[in-house]
Structure 1
Amino acid sequence: MTVKGVLVASEANETGVLAGDDRMLIDGELQHAAGGAAFEVIHPASEQVVGRAADGTVEDMGRAVAAARRAFDDGSWSADLEFRKHCLMQLHDAMERSKERLRRILITEVGCPVTVTGSQIESPIHEVKHWAEFGADFEYLRDTGLHDTPLGPARRMLRYEPVGVVGAITPWNVPLYLNIAETVPALMAGNTVVLKPAQLTPWSGSELGRIVAEETDIPAGVFNVVTSNANEVGAALSADPRVDMITFTGSTATGRAILAAAAPTVKKTLLELGGKSAHIVLEDADLNAAMPLAAMMACVMSGQSCVLPSRILLPRSRYEEGIGLLATMMQNFPVGDPWTPGVMQGPQICAAQREKVLGLIASGVADGARLVTGGGIPANLPVGYYTEPTLLADVDPNSRIAQEEIFGPVLTVTPYDTDDEAVAIANNSIYGLSGEVSGADVDRAFAIAARLRTGNVTINGKSHFGIDSPFGGTGQSGLGYRNGTHGYQEYLHIKTIGMPE
């Protein structure tokens, strides 16, 4: 069938956009918002309304928090490790069965090309199983041995305990992945959770709630999902004194607001915020390998990635050569309908995001940058929020486009003369989430990576990112870590107990 001219799938084996569940999960019940309010969800590749989501209120959020508080304080979830593993393995299996439905919801909400959905579907499903197994094997009580004290020897034990009620506020760029990354480790650690998905991608959250409610034994109140189109609903979650911790991924501006809202109750905050990462290309680098990969990474996900190395720093001796390779790749990058196999760049998430990207490109040109390719809307894609892959050269490191996160398929290129200058340009940012170095001399590349003020660095395309390694930023790119042992421990308090030997 069609909705306003857009194909809508009604059966599981059809293709086309697919609306998610229009209910929220509160205290074990799938339900509509108080008063029945709902808001429209738009498919970014067609600009058409394709369904509705529950428009939760502050009252709904309060009920969800109360349920999570009650489930943590009065239930057995935090004490029953084997049951938690059982429930999360149920979730993994149910998501595996539902993965094609989840994939179509993702493409519908985000416009992510079907060709590149693996990291947004298969990866988070795998992570559910990973955290269930990791948490089951985690050592929650550790004997640190005998310690000398003024009162004689004392044995000290470290006991890892769940934080309590965790509020998770997630973004729209990789919604299912981050809904999982911010809630499943918290659940496995023994916490109860209230998830507030992004306004632009509510169904990736409500579908997760439906699966939990219908296909797992997770008790009422342990996991709650509140969708809403109102900013004050997320703010209410951050400020609620019954919430012990907030985990958030998104813009630095919103992260500051969450910190301010959480400050009166001094609750723990885990923040993954913006980025403006630099890629230092050394003069001995293999440009034929490094530059096409850099261009591809800028365009996949339509540039809507916080870790994207969007600032390319090229040695002056190889400057035009590098620009030429970047331009060739970006001019020929497959942009189009996300449902078409082989397409690797879809639209921006919404009209406002595309306008932001185009505005930043215009500001770069106004500040003296050279527009090498792109810069506008693809002529063959008049419908949908598409942006041309864009390359800007001769970019002033202090200009707006070199300092602000773009979140679009845009690369800026700046020349440098010495390693020290390249490092100084790379570190000239309020952000410090990621970075990259390319060069044949790996020891030299490592030495430069060590000087970058950032939480993560890739050398010669060898990714720093993985579920078993800590991921976090410096500067205004965030607080705390995801992934690895460090990431799991974020959802646990450490209680030190001194006792007789």
Structure 2
Amino acid sequence: MTATGSAQTSSELQTALGAMWGSRDPDVRLQELVNQAPSGSPLLLIDGERREAHSGARFDNVDPTTERVMGSTADAGPEDVEEAIAAARRAFDETTWATDHAFRRRCLEQLHAGLVRVADDLRATAVWEVGAAVRTTHAFHSDFALDLLPWFAELAESYDYDLTLPDQPWAAGTRRLIAREPVGVVAAITPWNFPLYTAMTKIAPALASGNTVILKPAPQTPWHATLLARVVAEETDIPAGVLNIVPTSDNAVAEILTTDRRVDMVHFTGSTAVGRKIITNSAERIGRVALELGGKSANILLDDAPIADIVPVAAGMVCWSAGQGCVLPTRLLVPQDRYDEAVQLATAAYHGIAYGDPRDPLVIQGPQVSAVQRERVLSFIEKGEAEGATLLAGGGIPAHLDTGYFVEPTLFGDVDRNATIAQQEIFGPVLCLMPYRDEADAIALANGTAYGLAGSVFSADQDRAVSVARRVRSGMMSVNGGFFYARDLPVGGYKQSGLGHECGVQGFEEFLETKAIAIGV
């Protein structure tokens, strides 16, 4: 399979799309790796030991590009998860991990060094099990994720865990301080779209702040986590039980982590529907939750924005990672009097998106992660047409690709703001092009969904764009192409897009309890 559509796209557009979010041409070694067959025997990590599941069960890992089974992974059962929870509980309660800040820093620095050494293997794994385009794997599938570790490692030691308040001169007087202490045992449940990055946004701050962790990766993409397990076991001094990794194919087994009273916190990234279930389970045990959920981000092009320059790239962004990103701007809002121009620009761009085999260094869009996900995307496309939207490009399975879970880059126009495809997260390469009347209407349109994760604004007037960004009810906003992912910048959503934050000091503090101490003097 080869890249499709690039001949119809200007070289400038291909360059711009190729450079998005840290994308770059793969070097020779990485290209060789992704063309090899995966090897190894992915195992669980429980109480410091890499091993098979007690039952001996394993589950298949399927290449979404070829639809072939690449290998299998140890499949954790209830008894394995029970042992992981017990190990994490014991490591938190009976060791000095929670109080030895310098030791935690050293262990996280070791983990960073070990993962850097296998960075190309992590990138290749993203191509094999996610279907990520090889040129995009230097971003969230490796560099951005690994960059979190040294920052949180330093914070583990430098953070001021005790804050002294002025004495209170009542009675005999009272000294007062506020102590920040780790929550305890954290269950980290991660999705399949950016498995390494979403794991690091949980593991790095949770461990740095003194917690112990049980990581449950998505069954579609377990090998990122099992490679992490190997590095932890072989190249770090992280004590047994501090980090446990339990891939499982059974959602009922995974749910144990959300109901067990020995788990102090559940940190989840994934769908809003699953987030609701986790909240319900946590209510039963009165446990802390942090949720990074779905999105329906709007990209607002104000009437003074250079539409001819922005529309092609803004449209193409939705095809990055096959549209499988919660922050991707899946609604493109343009002034009504320039809507026809935007349709022409976006349609031309969509006919020129390079998609196909993710091992091809020209490709931007690979396959959906699974047959189930492809069917979900196609069902939304059918719903869009049934509800009256105009299909401008794509809309089906590529006729020229015999294998792989591919969906054509798909563009809809004439989308009613209340239509299903304008309201619900599709998680595929599907863009809704929507006109607005004036600035107030654009903001209302952007805010008119149940989500509030991210968004973008473009304007020739930076102050105006920032003013609009402030009025959009989303946790992250990009102005004129600004990049809101950084290790020191908090990530989180409004409304049904989540609770709490990842990254930044705010993300570190998600994993801390607050204790007030008053001392009579």
TM-score higher than 0.5 here? yes
42-51 vs 431-440, greater mean Cα deviation = 431-440
Aligned to 2:71: 51
User: Hey, what's the Cα distance between the residues in 2 that align with 1:304 and 1:190?
Assistant: 32
Tell me the SS of whatever aligns to 1:34: coil
Do 2:111 and 2:231's aligned partners in 1 also have CA atoms closer than 8 Å?
yes
Tell me the CA shift for residue 340 of structure 1. Answer: 1.4
Aligned letter for 2:142? I
User: Hey, what's the Cα distance between the residues in 1 that align with 2:468 and 2:434?
Assistant: 17
Equivalent residue runs for 1:150-299 within 5 Å: 151=171, 153-299=173-319
- Matching of residue 125 in structure 1 with residue 109 in structure 2: no
User: Hey, what's the Cα distance between the residues in 1 that align with 2:380 and 2:66?
Assistant: 24
- Number of equivalent positions: 490
Tell me the SS of whatever aligns to 2:296: coil
Do 2:55 and 2:77's aligned partners in 1 also have CA atoms closer than 8 Å?
no
Aligned letter for 2:321? M
Aligned to 2:88: 68
Do 1:21 and 1:210's aligned partners in 2 also have CA atoms closer than 8 Å?
no
137, 159, 174: which is aligned to 1:138?
159
Tell me the SS of whatever aligns to 1:313: strand
User: Hey, what's the Cα distance between the residues in 1 that align with 2:107 and 2:485?
Assistant: 27
Tell me the SS of whatever aligns to 1:160: strand
Tell me the CA shift for residue 159 of structure 1. Answer: 1.2
Equivalent residue runs for 1:439-478 within 5 Å: 439-478=459-498
Tell me the CA shift for residue 242 of structure 1. Answer: 0.3
Equivalent residue runs for 1:27-106 within 5 Å: 27-106=47-126
Tell me the CA shift for residue 481 of structure 1. Answer: 0.5
Tell me the SS of whatever aligns to 2:506: helix
Tell me the SS of whatever aligns to 2:233: helix
Equivalent residue runs for 1:292-331 within 5 Å: 292-331=312-351
Aligned to 1:4: none
Tell me the SS of whatever aligns to 2:45: strand
Tell me the SS of whatever aligns to 2:515: strand
Structure 2 vs 1, CA of residues 158 and 369 (structure 1 numbering), >3 Å: closer, same or farther? same
Do 1:20 and 1:206's aligned partners in 2 also have CA atoms closer than 8 Å?
no
User: Hey, what's the Cα distance between the residues in 1 that align with 2:278 and 2:168?
Assistant: 40
User: Hey, what's the Cα distance between the residues in 1 that align with 2:349 and 2:233?
Assistant: 46
Tell me the SS of whatever aligns to 2:55: helix
- Matching of residue 429 in structure 1 with residue 484 in structure 2: no
Quick one: percent identity of the two aligned structures? 46
Tell me the SS of whatever aligns to 1:78: coil
State the Cα deviation string for residues 233-256 of structure 1 (Å, max 9, x = none): 111001010000000000000001
Aligned letter for 1:33? A
Structure 2 vs 1, CA of residues 169 and 14 (structure 1 numbering), >3 Å: closer, same or farther? closer
User: Hey, what's the Cα distance between the residues in 2 that align with 1:69 and 1:316?
Assistant: 58
Q: Which blocks of at least 5 consecutive residues in structure 2 are unaligned?
A: 1-28
- Matching of residue 377 in structure 1 with residue 388 in structure 2: no
User: Hey, what's the Cα distance between the residues in 1 that align with 2:355 and 2:142?
Assistant: 21
User: Hey, what's the Cα distance between the residues in 2 that align with 1:500 and 1:286?
Assistant: 65
Aligned letter for 1:71? A
User: Hey, what's the Cα distance between the residues in 2 that align with 1:287 and 1:155?
Assistant: 61
User: Hey, what's the Cα distance between the residues in 1 that align with 2:149 and 2:503?
Assistant: 12
User: Hey, what's the Cα distance between the residues in 2 that align with 1:472 and 1:44?
Assistant: 29
Tell me the CA shift for residue 423 of structure 1. Answer: 1.4
Tell me the SS of whatever aligns to 1:338: coil
User: Hey, what's the Cα distance between the residues in 1 that align with 2:369 and 2:37?
Assistant: 15
282-291 vs 426-435, greater mean Cα deviation = 282-291
Tell me the CA shift for residue 160 of structure 1. Answer: 1.2
User: Hey, what's the Cα distance between the residues in 2 that align with 1:243 and 1:217?
Assistant: 23
Structure 2 vs 1, CA of residues 203 and 421 (structure 1 numbering), >3 Å: closer, same or farther? same
105, 110, 131: which is aligned to 2:130?
110
Aligned to 1:6: none
Tell me the CA shift for residue 288 of structure 1. Answer: 2.8
Aligned letter for 2:258? S
Tell me the SS of whatever aligns to 2:112: helix
Aligned letter for 2:145? P
User: Hey, what's the Cα distance between the residues in 2 that align with 1:29 and 1:68?
Assistant: 13
Tell me the CA shift for residue 19 of structure 1. Answer: 4.3
Tell me the CA shift for residue 145 of structure 1. Answer: 2.4
Tell me the CA shift for residue 499 of structure 1. Answer: 2.7
Tell me the CA shift for residue 153 of structure 1. Answer: 4.9
State the Cα deviation string for residues 221-273 of structure 1 (Å, max 9, x = none): 01100010000111100101000000000000000111111111111101000
Aligned letter for 2:165? T
Aligned letter for 1:46? T
Aligned letter for 1:297? M
Q: Which blocks of at least 5 consecutive residues in structure 1 are unaligned?
A: 1-8
70-79 vs 458-467, greater mean Cα deviation = 458-467
Aligned letter for 2:490? P
State the Cα deviation string for residues 47-94 of structure 1 (Å, max 9, x = none): 111000111111110110000000100111111111111111111111
Structure 2 vs 1, CA of residues 327 and 155 (structure 1 numbering), >3 Å: closer, same or farther? farther
Aligned letter for 1:448? V
User: Hey, what's the Cα distance between the residues in 2 that align with 1:36 and 1:122?
Assistant: 34
Tell me the CA shift for residue 437 of structure 1. Answer: 1.2
Do 2:33 and 2:121's aligned partners in 1 also have CA atoms closer than 8 Å?
no
Structure 2 vs 1, CA of residues 282 and 20 (structure 1 numbering), >3 Å: closer, same or farther? farther
Aligned letter for 1:332? G
Aligned letter for 1:177? Y
379, 386, 402: which is aligned to 1:366?
386
Tell me the CA shift for residue 297 of structure 1. Answer: 1.5
Tell me the SS of whatever aligns to 1:193: strand
Tell me the CA shift for residue 417 of structure 1. Answer: 0.8
Aligned letter for 2:253? V
Tell me the CA shift for residue 20 of structure 1. Answer: 5.3
RMSD of equivalent CA atoms = 1.6
State the Cα deviation string for residues 327-379 of structure 1 (Å, max 9, x = none): 22221111111111121111000011111111101111111111111111222
Do 2:104 and 2:156's aligned partners in 1 also have CA atoms closer than 8 Å?
no
Structure 2 vs 1, CA of residues 76 and 21 (structure 1 numbering), >3 Å: closer, same or farther? farther
Calculate the TM-score normalised by the size of structure 1: 0.95
User: Hey, what's the Cα distance between the residues in 2 that align with 1:16 and 1:415?
Assistant: 47
Aligned letter for 1:163? V
State the Cα deviation string for residues 169-206 of structure 1 (Å, max 9, x = none): 00000001111111121011110000000010111111
Calculate the TM-score normalised by the size of structure 2: 0.91
171-180 vs 20-29, greater mean Cα deviation = 20-29
Do 1:364 and 1:400's aligned partners in 2 also have CA atoms closer than 8 Å?
yes
User: Hey, what's the Cα distance between the residues in 2 that align with 1:18 and 1:324?
Assistant: 43
